[in-house]
Structure 1
Amino acid sequence: MTPELLPALGGPVLPVVVVEDAAGAVPLARALVAGGLPAVEVTLRTPAALDAIRAITAEVPGALVGAGTVVSPRAVEEAVAAGARFLVSPGWTGGLLAAMEASGVPYLPGVSTVSEVVALLERGVRDMKFFPAEAAGGSAYLAALAGPLPTARFCPTGGITAGSARGYLALPNVPCVGGTWVAPPAALAAGDWARVESLARGAAALAAGPGAAPGGATR
């Protein structure tokens, strides 16, 4: 069994951020940490993403920075080389899964169907990203999986808001949710780190459900 990721994220919400300018990465991470959310997923959607991961790794020791939108073995290599301490993918293939496993850092492969969940469980993977959460069935879908697939745990991401997060966190198979609302683009563009810290504090105060208890995870 591989080390757990979801309980190690340090809060009920994993901030999912799109960094357009790496110069803002360090104050962003500091604001999130100050607000009680030490983990941050920097999505590999912009040219600045890898530089942002490098900067946070080097200058914010209290942060646990990971790479999101990891969709290829090359992206795995680049993210880990930049200092990413965990990996998140929107979906998975055999090749991508093998690369993430070989990377030596914890990872969350993305799923949206029962067959994908079962296939990962067969491979010893228990911690997964559920994406796109709202479009793929939302909290009702994950609630339906808890009975037949009790060992699977999910970090749902995609369309979740501060208002809907509680419904997910009340489920026994959801230790945390991924949220973009904690670091809205307007706040990042304006350098409004006080707003980010305030949103992080509100997110950190959300109560996680029974899924927060340790179970299995992947690396």
Structure 2
Amino acid sequence: MNADATAVLQQALGRCPLVAILRGLTPPEAVGVGQALVGQGFVLLEVPLNSPDPLQSIATLADRYPEALVGAGTVTTPRQVAQVRAAGGRLIVSPHWDRAVVDAAVQFGMICVPGVATPTEAFAAWQAGAHALKLFPAELITPPVVKALRAVLPAHLPLRPVGSITPDNMAAYRQAGADGFGIGSALYAPGRSADQVGERAMRFVTAWRGCAGHGSITA
């Protein structure tokens, strides 16, 4: 595993372990939405590759917000990994576990977060060099399942549920052992203004701070 990539991810997670999944983001929106998110403390920004001109949005975000860890989601091939790297992205997120994608990301020194849904996939991805695991879809991977996975996976390996995460259900996952979350349409959706994204980002950050370290939302 790339030690530099691991240190970069740990630093980012220490600041805010919430990943903004910006599916549908367009390049003209990138600066405003990025500012709204970074301004509320988000430092992990993911533009899925099935968005309009995603590489341009990634390049814009990476250039404008160097303090953030910017990359792509819905990455399914090694060629896409190389394209994201060329655009300035440092984060590779997949909806699935694919050895070739993980190998490419690790080779480039990028942070790789594959999607897994079973213990077999989780251990295979970790042993291949994944830096964190995306538990997807979270609708199927309930808090009791997260607790069972957390009990057998390495304690240092971040587990990040993705799918229908809201400020109201974060605490249950946190109690079960989740180390962070990927947040999609509850945070950003096409047509939503930067101000609206910022307001939603604030609610998510507040909810995380309420449950982190305490196991439940305290306010």
Matched, 1:66 2:71: yes
Match of 2:180, as an amino acid?
A: C
Match of 2:51, as an amino acid?
A: T
Report what 2:151 is aligned to. Answer: 147
What is the CA distance between 1:20 and its match in structure 2?
Answer: 4.2
Distance 1:52 1:149 in 2: 34
Q: Secondary structure at the match of 1:119?
A: helix
Give 2:39's match in structure 1, choosing from 19, 34, 56. Answer: 34
Work out whether residues 19 and 25 of structure 1, in 8 Å CA contact, stay in contact via their aligned partners in 2: no
- Percent identical among aligned pairs is 31
Match of 2:202, as an amino acid?
A: R
Per-residue Cα deviation, 1:55-94 (whole angstroms, up to 9, x for no partner)? 1112233432111111100110011111112111111222
Give 1:169's match in structure 2, choosing from 170, 174, 196. Answer: 174
Distance 2:131 2:71 in 1: 19
Work out whether residues 6 and 176 of structure 1, in 8 Å CA contact, stay in contact via their aligned partners in 2: no
Matched, 1:45 2:50: yes
Match of 1:129, as an amino acid?
A: K
Distance 1:61 1:126 in 2: 20
Work out whether residues 19 and 52 of structure 1, in 8 Å CA contact, stay in contact via their aligned partners in 2: no
Give 2:93's match in structure 1, choosing from 66, 88, 95. Answer: 88
Work out whether residues 35 and 199 of structure 1, in 8 Å CA contact, stay in contact via their aligned partners in 2: no
Work out whether residues 98 and 114 of structure 2, in 8 Å CA contact, stay in contact via their aligned partners in 1: no
Give 1:156's match in structure 2, choosing from 152, 157, 161. Answer: 161
Per-residue Cα deviation, 1:158-189 (whole angstroms, up to 9, x for no partner)? 122222122212333x22100111213331xx
Shift in alpha-carbon separation, 1:83–1:128, aligned structure 2, 3 A? same
Report what 2:29 is aligned to. Answer: 24
Shift in alpha-carbon separation, 1:7–1:178, aligned structure 2, 3 A? farther
Work out whether residues 57 and 65 of structure 1, in 8 Å CA contact, stay in contact via their aligned partners in 2: yes
Aligned runs of 1:192-211 on 2, under 5 Å?
192-205=193-206, 206-207=208-209, 209=212
Work out whether residues 91 and 110 of structure 2, in 8 Å CA contact, stay in contact via their aligned partners in 1: yes
What is the CA distance between 1:39 and its match in structure 2?
Answer: 1.8
Work out whether residues 51 and 82 of structure 1, in 8 Å CA contact, stay in contact via their aligned partners in 2: yes
Q: Structure 1, unaligned stretches of length 5 or more?
A: 211-219
Work out whether residues 108 and 127 of structure 1, in 8 Å CA contact, stay in contact via their aligned partners in 2: yes
TM-score, normalization: structure 1?
0.84
Work out whether residues 21 and 48 of structure 2, in 8 Å CA contact, stay in contact via their aligned partners in 1: yes
Is 33-42 or 123-132 further displaced after alignment?
123-132
Q: Structure 2, unaligned stretches of length 5 or more?
A: 214-219
Match of 1:33, as an amino acid?
A: V
Distance 2:183 2:72 in 1: 14
Shift in alpha-carbon separation, 1:126–1:49, aligned structure 2, 3 A? closer
Q: Secondary structure at the match of 1:186?
A: coil
Match of 1:145, as an amino acid?
A: L
Distance 1:8 1:26 in 2: 20
Match of 1:193, as an amino acid?
A: A
Match of 2:199, as an amino acid?
A: S
Match of 2:112, as an amino acid?
A: Y
User: Cα RMSD between the aligned structures?
Assistant: 2.1
Q: Secondary structure at the match of 1:178?
A: strand
